[in-house]
Amino acid sequence: MNVLLGVGGGIAAYKSAELARALMERGLRVQVVLTDAAQRFITPLTFAALTGRKVITNLFATASSEETLSSAIEHISVAQDNDVMVVAPATADLLARLAYGHADDFLTTTYLAFTGPVVLAPAMNSNMWAHPATQENLNILRKRGHVIVEPEDGLLACGMTGPGRLAEPDRLADVVASLGLGSKDLDGETVLITAGPTQEPLDPVRFISNRSSGKMGYALAEVAGERGARVVLISGPVHLPAPQGVTLIRVHTAIEMRNAVFEHLAEATIIVKSAAVADYHLSRVPQHKVKKTATRMSLELDPTPDILAELGQKKGDRLLIGFAAETENLTAGARSKLESKNCDMVVANLVGQDGTGFESDENEAVLVLSTGETIPLPRAPKREIADRIFDQVMKLRLALHAAQ
C-alpha cells in the first residue's frame, strides 16, 4: 500500500520521522510531502534518508523548463499513485485550509486531487484545539469521511498541559495500515513461489550452494497471502520462520525443487521463481565422506535442471515471473532472460553491493516486462519491494488480457 505522508509545520514534526519509519515497518511505501513551515522544524534530508525517496517540498520546480512542466502536474500523479493520505502533524492552519479547499502549496493541492482515505492527526496548543473555529473545521472534515486521530493529553511544548500532543507514531501507523486491510486484489489467485538457495551435495557432509537467504521469496509469500492469494511456497534451506497461512514445502536440491514445482503447477495461476537455484551439481554423489589428501582434486559437475526455462514452455496462460541476479549489465541481462525463458516479467537485482541483495533486509531492482516496459524499484525493505512487484503483476495481467 502506498501512503502519502504530509507533514505540517509544528514542533511535533519530528514525530513524523518516527511515523514514516513505523509505516515502513508495516510494509507500507511512504512518499513524504513537507510544507514550507514544516521545513523550519525538520529537513527533507531526514525523510529522504528514512524512506529512500525524493521528498516533495515545492509545487513548482525552479530549475529547467522541463522540470517545471513535470512539477506542474506532479501533484496529480502523486494523488493517483497513493492509496492513503495522512497529515501529521495537522496544524490548526492546515485543518482550516483543508476544510475550505485552499490550494496554495503542494500538500493542499494534492489533497484536492486525492480520492482515497484521508487520516488527519492534529497537534497544537490546547486552547487552539478547543477553539470553536478549529472544532468547526474538524466537523467539516469528519463529514467528508476523513479519519481524525485526536491528539493526546500531556505536557505541550508551550508549557501547558492538556490535549494537543500528536498521537504516538505506532498508534497512527496502525490506523493507517488498517485502511489497507480490504485490499485483496489477489483473491482467487494461487501463487506458486520458490525461495532460498538449493544445496547440491558433494558427499554426505559437503555441498555447493550460494548466499541466498530466502528473505525476498518469503516477503513475496507474506505479501501475496495478505493480498488474498492462496500461496504455495517451495523453499530451499533457510533460517526463516514459515509465513502464516501459506503451504510450505521444504526442499534441498534443484531436482527436488523442480519436482515440487511441477507437482503443484496445475493449481497455480501465478508463478514467481525467486529461488537462487544452483547452476551445477555432482550427478554421482559418493556415499561416504571424501577424505582430504595432499593432492589436488577436480570435480566434474553437470548442469542442474533449468526450472524456469521448462516452466516457460509449459506455463500456458499463467503469469511467469523470473528473477535475475546480475553483477553487471542489469537490464540487458534481464531482457535476455525474459525472452529466452518465455517469462512475463523478470525482476533484476544488482548483487555484490553493500546493503542490498543476498542476505540483506533491503533490495533494489529493475522490473523488465514482456510489454516492453522497464520499471526501476528504488532501494527499500524487501517486503516493500514485494508489494511493488505484485502491483506490477496485477497491472501486467490487465494489460495482457486487454491485448487478447
CA 277 – CA 25 distance, rounded (Å): 29
Q: DSSP letters along 77-107, please?
A: HHHHH-SEEEEEEE-HHHHHHHHTT---SHH
The helix/strand/coil state of 369 is: strand
The helix/strand/coil state of 329 is: coil
| Nearest alpha carbon to residue 345 among 372, 365, 367 | 367
Identity of the amino acid at 206: R
| Nearest alpha carbon to residue 333 among 319, 351, 318 | 351
What cell does 155 get? 505536557
Give the DSSP H or E segment for 233. Answer: strand 230-235
Whether the CB-CB separation of 36 and 122 falls below 8 Å is answered with no
| Nearest alpha carbon to residue 96 among 110, 85, 108 | 108
The beta-strand segments (E) located in 236-276 are 247-250, 270-273
By annotation, the residues acting in catalysis are 158
| Nearest alpha carbon to residue 10 among 99, 94, 85 | 94
Q: For residues 277-302, b (16+ Cβ closer than 10 Å) or e, as one string?
A: bbeebbeeeeeeeeeeeeeeeeeeee
376, exposed or middle or buried, with CB in 10 Å at 0-12, 13-18, 19+? exposed
- The conformation of residue 197, written as its DSSP 8-state character, comes to B
Whether the CB-CB separation of 265 and 312 falls below 8 Å is answered with no
Identity of the amino acid at 157: A
- Strand 362-369 with 374-381, pairing: antiparallel
